Amino acid sequence: MSNALLARFIPEARDLLQSSASGLLRLEKSPADATAINEVFRAVHTLKGSSGLFDAVALTRLVHAAEDLLGEVRSAQRELDSDLVDMLLDSLDQVSAWIDHLERHERLPDDADRVCKAAVGRLRDRLAPAEAPASSDPPAEEKPAAEIGWIADMAEADRLALFSDAARGHPVLAVHYVPAETCFYNGEDPFGLVLQVPGLGALDVVTREPWPPLEELDPYRCNLAFRLLASGARVEVEHLFRYVSDEVRIDQVAPDALIRLAGAPAPGPLPVVEDFAEEARACLERRDWAALRTATAALLALTNPELSTASALRWLDAVSAAPFPNAAHAAALIEAVATGEPPRLGSADVEPPRPVLATLRPRPGTVPADARDAASGDVEALARRIVAAQRCVLAEAQALDRVRAHVGAVATVLARLLPGRADDGLCARIAAAARVAETDGDAGPLLDLLGTLDDATDGGTAAATTVAPGTASVVPAPGADASAGEAARDERGAARMLKVDQAKVDLLMNLIGELVVSKNSLPFLARRAEHIHGSREMAREIKDQYAVIDRLAQEMQGAIMQVRMLPVSEVFDRFPRLVRDLARKLEKRIDLVVEGEDTAADKTIIEALGDPLLHVVRNAIDHGIEPPAERRAAGKPEQATIVLKASQEADHVAIEVRDDGRGIDPAKVRAAAVAKGVVDAGAAEALSDQEAIRLIFRPGFSTAAKVSDLSGRGVGLDVVLTTVEKLGGRVAVTSRSGEGTTVRIAMPLSMAVTRVMVVEVGGEPYGIPMDIIAETVRVPRERIKTIKQAPAFVLRDTVVPLLRLARTLGCGTAAADVAAEAVLVCRIGGAPIGLVVDNFREGMDVILKPFDGVLAGMRGFSGTALLGDGHVLLVLDLKELL
Amino acid sequence: MPLRFDGPTVRFEGLCMVEEALGLVEHWRETPPGTVDLSTCTHVHTALLQVLAAAAPAEVIPPSDPTLARFVAPILASRRPLP
Amino acid sequence: MTGKSILVVDDGITIRLFYRDVLEAAGFTVAEAANGVEGLERALLDRFDLMIVDVNMPKMNGYELVRQVRDDPALRSIPIVTISTEEKEEDALRAYRAGANLYVVKPVRPDELAATARLLTGGAA
């Protein structure tokens, strides 16, 4: 299968899995949500359809089993309980893992079949008990018992096992496979193929011709034909044989077709049989299947297993062991035991033979639904079946009084198919009859003519020459004709969505970034023009051009930012599942309310938000939410609520995680912080309650007495703070004891372009992110005081500690004897700090590239940016540096 | 070689593919078939199974893989013609 | 090139690509729509020689799309193939009652799809 198709399938599958999972969770909350069940069902259904295109049978089977279960839920035959949701979610997870594997290796993992079998088994087990008795409503295409005689050739043990499967809702398929004699030359291995049949339960092999002596044997001419029974789904079996479909016949068989007695008839009347028969009839009368099985087992122990009586007893046991035993079958088998005759399974409860879907010459009213049975080369058979289908369409239209609406297309089809296949006279009469049908709304004459086609040994014999005058045209009406169509072609009104590979957007983003940087070289050029080449005018023209390019670059940047914007639902979507699973694990009852999931932010931000949010939410579930009993005792509803809310505020996106749990006790936090040496006792006391609560974000802090397996994992909430702050965000926490906790994360909407101020230190330029700079001041030397052994100065009544960046960076200072120091006042973690630099330079937009390779671990720098003059600017990460 | 010839005994090992069939026929045309040991083979191509069915060796030690053993058996017994 | 055009209506993006690959290789021009509503709009914009319609789709399902096409005098003579994963006779009947000309069960083999399209468009012998 083409890679392009697979590449298209993988994102589609992921989308479908995501919407099924979120739909399931909604459904669990409100089982009556018809939209949700339809959505889930459709997603799974579409996934099944698409996956069928690939050689991923295990995946298709699993999805199919899930679909069956969902189908029952949809038709309200089954309650959707949490266990069922668990099971379905697990299956979707498995499928999702397979999709990942498919993406990497273009095939399923080697254990897929085994995993699939187990998972499908679990799903099918859930499917079985609620199912209607299999015999009361056999699917339409089931073969009646008599038609496939070779089933009796299969080993009885195999048939018994398949019967048991059938009773539990697995349809039994009979496959007759006669490989072409030359198949080995096509690289085929028929036996290998047969071994892959899902649910292969019985195999019988016959020869085309008796085996010749070895001297005459041609080992490369296939002389075998395979007959097998399987309990797999028909679509999968068909899929397996798709390349040899003209060599295979697949029929679904009714379970009772499997009941055939083996062994020799009993030589004489068996002693206790009459007693058994009487007891068994009584059990059957009471529908006491357990007692019937006991009686059966007792007689079976006394009976020679080689006799047909023993076989009848084994079948009787199998019939009574079914989830919904068929009383008629049981009765017939009891009589077979009693009389020694073959069982009369009775045509009464075997459905009369239904029209088989795929016959090539359908009887009237038969629906040739399955186009697959046409041998690949047999276009003529396909054509015949299409023509036959038109009869069906017409007959239905006649019954529904829709002839006028439907006959046009039928006439089109016939006009395209019949010429060359039926004689000209008949074609003409059919065309005429179609026109009559369209005018009169009566398809009778047309149906009659098509009937003659069906058993036409000679279509022209009944040549009546009367042709009804054509009053109405059956060719397409010129309503939507070419002139209108031409203009509209490819210009569809509805917005067209493109799915674009993220890497392409990133490339575009980088290119625009380069453009921004190149653009920044123009002011340098203008300066050179003025100072070196002495042309003011040229400098001004360059600046004018710069202004234009600057505006365009900004607009481009804005536009690509929009493309990169993702809704927070990308992150939020995983929380319903997470909350549900954790809550169940911890036996807490939690309702997750998600708000504002449409709020959008740059993809980098959205992607980076995932882990911190996960941590905060886990923490809330683990520590914040009380167990139901404790909540009840506190007079709260047992069901706790966690609100996950996103909103946009100016240039920030704010994410709030609010729970109504027990809140954070500042006293406990203080005590824990002191005990763990996070702060000293005096400092802890000096903190306000809200400040004390913030201590939970300090490294080394964790309030849980024991490390929980949920939020513990050796990382504290400090990771949240570092991650968020690294991206230019802020975290705030508020809590009221007994009422709950709110963690608020504010992130910039975009971080693709960073505005930095360039400063000189030791003759080198460094970038400082603009968002932490409060102001730039020049401080006269005499105003710099030493406070607590550290240099500081007072700025508008605030003491600002001073830091010599040259010393921190370990480089020399260019000008040590200036009268005033250049000080950059920054705010880090809320506190001001003054950075002494050699000189301020311009502010600029840069595209920040994180260090990679050997430099990746370098601390104190958030990355590099390329300057317009080709220099590389190191951008400082002050939070780490200080 | 997945097929080891040892006088009348032929041992099938691992994946036994279609290419081996002609060699097997030729071997048995010279040395009448004796014991066939399938115990360590993991797959037998249809063409080879045909040769086994036609040659009807005196003894066949079945594959140790139960599934393979189960479904190889009907082929070795395939002496009935297609109806 | 057969010069014939086919409208494929299916909500599965991969399935659509598959149909497109197969049908274009067979010389057809292919247009796509992702659901019944889009399919109907698309059918009204251009003239198609054949429509291939998935049964189970959001917004407007395949049966309803077929019905609406048949109710529109300008569209009603376009042959329609419905494709479904359902093998049941009643599903096929439902499609025929709506006015579809052929009901095919997924998965469809490429050669079979191309042959069906050729027959129904009169595209080749």
For the stretch B11-56, pLDDT in tens is 998 888 888 888 888 888 888 888 899 999 988 999 999 999 888 8
> Tell me, what amino acid is at A741?
T
Q: Looking at the complex, does the CB of residue C3 fall below 8 Å from at least one CB of chain A?
A: no
Taking any CB pair shorter than 8 Å as contact, residues of chain A touching chain B are 150, 178-179, 184, 189-192, 194-195, 200, 203-212, 214-215, 217, 219-220, 222-225
Rounded to whole angstroms, the Cα distance separating C63 from C9 reads: 12
Q: What is the pLDDT of residue C66?
A: 94
* Four-residue CA torsion sign, A372, A376, A381, A383: positive
Q: In this structure, are A615 and A738 located in the same domain?
A: yes
Q: Which of A413, A450, A483 to mutate to test the interface with C (most CBs of C within 10 A)?
A: A413
DSSP secondary structure, A5-42, as one string:
HHHHHHHHHHHHHHHHHHHHHHHHH-TT-HHHHHHHHH
Domain count, chain A: 7
CATH-assigned architecture of domain C5-121: 3-Layer(aba) Sandwich (3.40)
For the stretch A147-183, pLDDT in tens is 677 888 888 899 999 988 877 667 788 999 999 888 8
How many CB pairs below 8 Å do chains A and C form together? 204
| Range with the poorest average pLDDT among A62-66, A131-135, A140-144, A321-325 | A131-135
Is B83 domain-assigned? no
CA angle A216, B57, A220 (to 5 degrees): 40
For the stretch A482-511, pLDDT in tens is 333 333 333 333 345 666 777 787 778 778
- Measured in angstroms, the CA of C27 and the nearest CA of chain A are apart by 17
Q: What is the pLDDT of residue A349?
A: 35
User: Per-residue confidence at A652, pLDDT binned at 50, 70, 90?
Assistant: confident
**Which single residue is written with the structure tokens 């309702």?**
A591
Is B82 domain-assigned? no
**Domain spans of chain C?**
5-121
For the stretch A798-840, pLDDT in tens is 788 888 888 888 776 655 567 788 888 887 766 788 988 888 8
Mean pLDDT of A761-777: 82
Is-contact B48 B16, C-beta < 8 A?
A: yes
Q: What is the pLDDT of residue A147?
A: 60
Q: What is the pLDDT of residue A737?
A: 84
Is-contact A724 A730, C-beta < 8 A?
A: yes
Cα nearest neighbour of C100 on chain A: A393
Contact C121 A416 (CB under 8 A): yes
DSSP E strands in A606-701: the ranges are: 640-649, 652-659
Q: In Å, how far from its chain's centre is CA A21?
A: 8
| Range with the poorest average pLDDT among A56-60, A774-778, B76-80 | B76-80
Mean pLDDT of B2-9: 83
Mean pLDDT of A325-335: 86
Q: What is the pLDDT of residue A660?
A: 92
Mean pLDDT of A668-678: 82
DSSP code at position A64: H
Q: In this structure, are A41 and A93 located in the same domain?
A: yes
Is B23 domain-assigned? yes
**Average model confidence (pLDDT) for chain A?**
77
DSSP code at position A149: G
User: Per-residue confidence at A209, pLDDT binned at 50, 70, 90?
Assistant: confident
For the stretch A236-293, pLDDT in tens is 788 888 778 788 888 878 788 888 888 887 777 667 788 888 889 988 888 888 889 9
Higher per-residue confidence, A412 vs A124: A412
- What domain range is A630 assigned to? 568-664+703-748
Nearest CB to A9; choose among C14, C85, C106: C14
Nearest CB to C101; choose among A242, A354, A410: A410
User: With contacts defined as CB-CB under 8 Å, which chain A residues touch B56?
Assistant: 211
Q: Is the peptide bond before C107 cis (omega within 30 degrees of 0)?
A: yes
- Residue A744 pLDDT greater than 80, yes or no: yes
Mean pLDDT of A711-738: 73
Q: What is the pLDDT of residue A483?
A: 39
Q: What is the pLDDT of residue A203?
A: 92
Is-contact A49 A59, C-beta < 8 A?
A: no
User: With contacts defined as CB-CB under 8 Å, which chain C residues touch A383?
Assistant: 119
**Which single residue is written with the structure tokens 């040549």?**
A463
* Four-residue CA torsion sign, A767, A771, A774, A776: positive
- Measured in angstroms, the CA of C87 and the nearest CA of chain A are apart by 8
Q: What is the pLDDT of residue A149?
A: 77
For the stretch C27-41, pLDDT in tens is 899 999 998 888 988
Q: What is the pLDDT of residue A850?
A: 64
Kindly compute the dihedral angle of the four CA atoms of residues A103, A22, A594, A600, in this order, to the nearest 10 degrees. 40
Identify which of A880, A860, A843, A850 has the alpha carbon closest to the alpha carbon of residue A755: A843
Q: Looking at the complex, does the CB of residue B32 fall below 8 Å from at least one CB of chain A?
A: no
Cα nearest neighbour of B76 on chain A: A205
- Residue A96 pLDDT greater than 80, yes or no: yes
- Measured CA to CA in angstroms, residue A806 lies from A560, A763, A802, A812, C97 at distances of 38, 10, 12, 6, 85
- Helix axis angle for A3-29 and A575-586, nearest 10°, is 50
Higher per-residue confidence, A840 vs A362: A840
Rounded to whole angstroms, the Cα distance separating A161 from C12 reads: 38
Task: State residue A535 phi and psi, 5-degree precision.
Answer: -110, 100
Contact C70 A4 (CB under 8 A): no
Domain count, chain B: 1
**Which single residue is written with the structure tokens 């330079």?**
A841
Answer whether 0.95 is exceeded by the pTM.
Answer: no
Q: In this structure, are A714 and A590 located in the same domain?
A: yes
Q: In this structure, are A577 and A709 located in the same domain?
A: yes
User: With contacts defined as CB-CB under 8 Å, which chain A residues touch B23?
Assistant: none
- Residue A323 pLDDT greater than 60, yes or no: yes
- In the complex, which subunits touch C with 3 or more CB pairs below 8 angstroms? A
Mean pLDDT of A46-55: 81
Higher per-residue confidence, C119 vs A459: C119
Q: In Å, how far from its chain's centre is CA A867?
A: 44
Q: What is the pLDDT of residue A717?
A: 75
Identify which of A667, A661, A728, A673 has the alpha carbon closest to the alpha carbon of residue A697: A673
For the stretch A118-131, pLDDT in tens is 888 888 777 655 44
User: Per-residue confidence at C65, pLDDT binned at 50, 70, 90?
Assistant: very high
Q: In this structure, are A78 and A165 located in the same domain?
A: no
Chains C and A physically touch (3 or more Cβ atom pairs below 8 Å): yes
Is B40 domain-assigned? yes
Cα of first residue to Cα of last residue in chain B, in angstroms, is 38
For the stretch A679-694, pLDDT in tens is 888 888 888 888 888 8
Q: Which of C22, C45, C50 to mutate to test the interface with A (most CBs of A within 10 A)?
A: C45
Identify which of A516, A748, A553, A720 has the alpha carbon closest to the alpha carbon of residue A620: A720
Q: In this structure, are A572 and A708 located in the same domain?
A: yes
Q: In this structure, are A321 and A432 located in the same domain?
A: no
User: Highest mean pLDDT: which of A472-486, A596-610, A657-671?
Assistant: A657-671
Is-contact A63 A44, C-beta < 8 A?
A: yes
User: With contacts defined as CB-CB under 8 Å, which chain A residues touch C77?
Assistant: 408-409, 411-412, 474-477
- Measured in angstroms, the CA of A478 and the nearest CA of chain C are apart by 7
Is-contact C92 A367, C-beta < 8 A?
A: yes
**CATH number, domain at A222?**
3.30.70
**Average model confidence (pLDDT) for chain C?**
86
Nearest CB to A242; choose among C45, C109, C116: C109
Mean pLDDT of C15-30: 87
Is A404 domain-assigned? yes
CA angle B47, B52, B58 (to 5 degrees): 175
SS3 label, residue A829: coil
Q: Compute the residue count for chain A.
A: 882
User: With contacts defined as CB-CB under 8 Å, which chain C residues touch A389?
Assistant: 96, 101-103
User: With contacts defined as CB-CB under 8 Å, which chain B residues touch A182?
Assistant: none
- Measured in angstroms, the CA of B51 and the nearest CA of chain A are apart by 6
Identify which of A154, A116, A400 has the alpha carbon closest to the alpha carbon of residue A259: A154
Contact A402 C99 (CB under 8 A): yes
Beta-sheet strand order (sheet of A172-177): A142-143, A248-253, A172-177, A224-230, A200-207
- Measured in angstroms, the CA of A72 and the nearest CA of chain C are apart by 15
- Measured in angstroms, the CA of B69 and the nearest CA of chain A are apart by 11
Mean pLDDT of A549-557: 82
Is A265 domain-assigned? no
**CATH number, domain at A831?**
2.40.50.180
For the stretch A502-540, pLDDT in tens is 778 777 877 877 777 677 677 778 877 888 888 888 888
- Residue A658 pLDDT greater than 90, yes or no: yes
Q: What is the pLDDT of residue A855?
A: 64
User: Highest mean pLDDT: which of A68-72, A164-168, A748-752, C36-40?
Assistant: C36-40
Residues 6+ apart with CB under 8 A from A555: none
Rounded to whole angstroms, the Cα distance separating A661 from A679 reads: 26
For A394-402, which contacts have Cβ atoms below 8 Å and span 24 or more sequence positions?
A394/A437, A394/A443, A394/A446, A394/A447, A394/A450, A395/A364, A395/A365, A395/A443, A395/A447, A396/C93, A396/C96, A396/C97, A397/A443, A397/C97, A397/C99, A398/A442, A398/A443, A398/A444, A398/A447, A400/C97, A401/A441, A402/C70, A402/C97, A402/C99
For the stretch A363-411, pLDDT in tens is 233 233 333 333 334 677 788 888 888 888 888 888 888 888 999 999 9
- Residue A135 pLDDT greater than 50, yes or no: no
Q: What percent of chain A has pLDDT over 70?
A: 82
DSSP code at position A623: I
SS3 label, residue C35: coil
Is-contact A781 A774, C-beta < 8 A?
A: no
Higher per-residue confidence, A676 vs A518: A676
DSSP E strands in A725-797: the ranges are: 730-736, 740-748, 753-761, 764-769, 773-780, 785-787, 790-795
Contact B18 A189 (CB under 8 A): yes
Contact A219 B24 (CB under 8 A): yes
Q: Looking at the complex, does the CB of residue B7 fall below 8 Å from at least one CB of chain A?
A: no
- In the complex, which subunits touch B with 3 or more CB pairs below 8 angstroms? A
- In the complex, which subunits touch A with 3 or more CB pairs below 8 angstroms? B, C
